[in-house]
Chain A
Amino acid sequence: MSTNLQHADHERAKPQAVESVAGATMQTVAGAMIVVGAIAFVFALVRGAAAIAWQAYLVNLLFFLGVAQGALVASAAFYLTQAKWGGSTPYRLGEAFAPFLWVGFFLFFGLYFGRSLIFPWVTHPIPQKAAWLNIPFLFARDGIGLGVMAAASFAFIRVSRSDEARAWTVATDDIALPPHSIRVFAPLVSVLFAVVYTLISFDLVMSLAPVWRSTLFGWYFFGGAFWSGLAAMALVATVLRGRLGEHNLFTNPTVMHDFGKMVFAFSVFWVYLLFAQYIVIWYGDLPVETFFIVQRAHHMPWSPLSVACVVLIWLIPFTVLMSVRTKKTPAILGTVTVLGLVGMWLERYVLVVPSLSLDAIPFGPTQFLITIGFLGAFLISAVPGLNRVAQAATSGEPVGDDVE
């Protein structure tokens, strides 16, 4: 395609370059959130509400690690699909939350101190499964898994931020493959994600109901994590759109449309995996498999929460984002992703907590404040990454095909 004919597409007004969008204020607020969460956590341990505190700790660890890792894998997936619809910005956006991977890696080992309150098989060992479900092996394999995952993610980020890779993301005229190092690390990160997060889901969610099993559960778990990463990216895009001055990348309706499509598509994928598990367990009707779903979907007090998950993660995104216009309207897309992220948090909650506290929902000020603390840690980790997103989105670099 010759350049002189494309000038009409790309000769829109250049955006005002923005160096920083997240700074001292955000760090202070996020830091205060961490302090509040930490105080609430310690307070709960001292006051004898340790079980409740550890449940919130595990739920939030799973959720925020999932968002950070899911978004990073989205960046790798963009290379695998040779996505150029937003220049380098979607890549920076996917990598923005990555520092939390190391935070989550260290927080994971914190679970060691709550092991007897989290893992039922610590106090009531299951002899047949002792070879797999024992504390040293669990922390070794999951720790190594999360460590390798974080290290591979950062190696990927390094090559992704190189000039060579950036040049490839904005070269809209040729069809060359991404740089060789990207072609190594992008598939590596994606495959590791599937393996490590299957392991995490088996060990940190499924083992809380140690007799229950579902082979598809790993897929379901990391499919949800991937979607929460995409939703967080779309949310950041809609928020930054109004904060980066005129003509930033996110004011391009085609780019917003693309974010909306991603959120729509993987919401459907999540419900597909949910139903694929449900139908097999329903048909087989084996008590050892059905109890996990019956507890959550058919018994109070959990059934309304289970329904809410499906509504927030699938029904609302599916119906609302079906139309092109709603995908391109930032207020609507932003609202849907906020609701979706709340839904995904709730889903992790409904997966974990009923195994430990079947008859009552232990959500209260303690769990809320611990959640706030994790959110603070997540936000403070995202500060440098968000500034990179701001730079990329206001650099005025060309993006792929503008025409619908």
Chain B
Amino acid sequence: MSTIAIIGSFADDARCANAIEELRAAKVGEFNTFSPIPSHRIEHAIGRKKSPVRWIVLAGGISGVLTGLAITIGTTYEWRLNAGGKPLLSWPPFIVICFELMVLLGGIFGFLGVLGLSGIPATEIAPGYNGRFGEDRFGIVVRCDEAEAARVESMMRESGAEEVVREGV
């Protein structure tokens, strides 16, 4: 028995999500999904756990606040200047600096986290990828035994695939 790839392309994410759910229920082979847009339906169908990127953002946010505190408190002690009779360490303006640095570092960490976790930049194109999956079509690539190919193909067609093709791996 040899393993082959079956590529189904779909016109909208609802049909694609439908097909994913059926494939998962039938437990045939392993599959990849390509989507030109981020789609909650497809994410939901894949049943993937929440991305750990939020913890990376949290770490970025906390380090931003700490950096902000270090800068504001540090510079205040470095250059002791009494302004308007206010206490040396006056916290209201510090909030602004800490908040902005929290947003900045949280954003940068989040961006880098997404790149890292999703393997961008990718050095080689995933098998079965078709240029249209980056434009207007949703794709599912299933790798399974040749014996099961017919069943997978019919499942995809029933879920509303526009086109189903086989490829050797």
A interface residues, Cβ below 8 angstroms from B: 1-2, 5-6, 275, 278-279, 282-283, 285, 401, 403-404
**Contact A5/B92 with A401-B40, A403-B40, A403-B44 known, Cβ cut-off 8 Å:** no
Min CB gap B96→A, angstroms: 7
Binding site for A on B (CB under 8 A): 12, 14-15, 17-18, 40-41, 44, 84, 86, 92-93, 95-96, 160
Q: In the complex, what distance in Å separates the CA atom of A401 from the CA atom of B39?
A: 12
A298 to chain B, nearest CB (A): 13
**Are B15 and A5 neighbours in the complex by a CB distance under 8 Å?**
yes
Task: Report the separation of the CA atoms of residues A34 and B3 in the bound assembly, to the nearest whole angstrom.
Answer: 78
Please determine whether B96 and A279 come into contact, CB atoms closer than 8 angstroms. yes
Chain A residues with CB under 8 Å of B44's CB are 403-404
Residue in B closest to A285 when the chains form the complex, CB atoms: B84
Asked if A282 meets B14 with Cβ closer than 8 Å, knowing A401-B40, A403-B41, A403-B44, the reply is no
CA distance A401 to B42 in the complex (A): 13
CA distance A283 to B84 in the complex (A): 9
Q: Give CA–CA (A403, B92) in the complex, Å.
A: 42
Instruction: Tell me the minimal C-beta distance from A255 to chain B in angstroms.
Output: 16
Give the one of B41, B95, B96 with max A CB within 10 A: B41
Shortest distance from the beta carbon of B40 to any chain A beta carbon, whole Å: 5
In contact, A285 and B14 (Cβ under 8 angstroms)? no
What 10 A-B pairs have minimum CB-CB distances, sorted nearest first? Answer: A5-B14, A403-B44, A403-B41, A403-B40, A282-B92, A285-B84, A279-B92, A1-B14, A5-B15, A404-B40
Further contacts, 7 of them, CB under 8 A, given A401-B40, A403-B40: A2-B14, A5-B15, A283-B93, A285-B84, A403-B41, A404-B40, A404-B44
State which of B14, B40, B95, B160 has its C-beta within 8 Å of the C-beta of A275. B95
Query: Contacts A282-B92, A283-B93; is A6 near B14 (CB within 8 Å)?
Result: yes
In the bound complex, residues from chain B placing their C-beta under 8 Å from that of A403 are: 17, 40-41, 44
Q: By the criterion CB–CB under 8 Å, are B86 and A285 in contact?
A: yes
Pick the contact of A1 from B12, B86, B95, B96 — CB < 8 Å? B12
Residue of A nearest to B11 (CB): A2
**Closest-CB distance, A108 to chain B (whole angstroms):** 36
Task: Determine the distance from Cα of A321 to Cα of B12 in the docked complex, in whole angstroms.
Answer: 33
CB pair B92 A278 closer than 8 Å: yes
Q: How far is the CA of A275 from the CA of B92 in the complex (A)?
A: 9
Cβ–Cβ < 8 Å partners of B160 in chain A: 5
- B143 to chain A minimum Cβ distance, whole angstroms, is 26
- Cα–Cα distance between A10 and B128 once the two chains are bound (Å): 34
In the bound assembly, the distance between CA atoms of A275 and B41 in angstroms comes to 39
16 A-B pairs whose Cβ atoms sit less than 8 Å apart in the complex: A1-B14, A2-B12, A5-B14, A5-B15, A275-B95, A279-B92, A279-B93, A279-B95, A279-B96, A283-B92, A283-B93, A285-B84, A285-B86, A401-B40, A403-B41, A404-B40
Q: How distant is B43 from chain A, measured CB to nearest CB, in Å? A: 8
Provide the bound-state CA to CA distance between A403 and B96, in Å: 37
B86 to chain A, nearest CB (A): 7
Nearest chain A residue, comparing its CB with the CB of B42: A403
- Expressed in whole angstroms, the Cα–Cα distance for A275 and B93 within the complex equals 10
Query: Shortest Cβ distance from A238 into chain B, in angstroms?
Result: 25
Alpha-carbon distance A275/B91, docked complex (angstroms) = 12
Residues from chain B with Cβ under 8 Å of A2 in the complex:
12, 14
* A283 to B86 Cα, complex, angstroms: 10
State the Cβ distance, A208 to closest chain B Cβ, in Å: 25
Closest to A281 in B: B92
- Shortest beta-carbon distance from A323 to chain B in Å: 11
In the bound complex, residues from chain B placing their C-beta under 8 Å from that of A1 are: 12, 14
Contacts of A279 in B (CB 8 A): 92-93, 95-96
Contacts of A283 in B (CB 8 A): 92-93
Q: Distance in Å from the Cβ of B99 to the closest Cβ of chain A?
A: 9
Give Cα A293 to B92, complex, Å. Answer: 14
Cα distance A6–B13 in the bound complex, in angstroms: 11
Contacts of B12 in A (CB 8 A): 1-2
Closest CB in chain B relative to A278 CB, distance in Å: 7
Q: A392 CA to B115 CA in the complex, in Å?
A: 45
Q: What's the Cα separation between A94 and B108 when bound, in Å?
A: 39
Give the chain A neighbours of B86 by CB distance below 8 A: 285
Give the distance in Å from the alpha carbon of A1 to the alpha carbon of B17 in the complex.
13
Give A219 Cβ to nearest chain B Cβ, in Å.
18
Closest residue on chain A to residue B14 by CB atoms:
A5
List the B residue with the shortest CB-CB distance to A4. Answer: B160
Residues of B contacting A401 with CB < 8 Å?
40
Chain B residues lying within 8 Å of A5, measured Cβ to Cβ, are 14-15, 18, 160
Distance A282 CA – B83 CA, assembled complex (angstroms)? 12
Task: Give the complex CA separation of A330 and B15 in angstroms.
Answer: 33
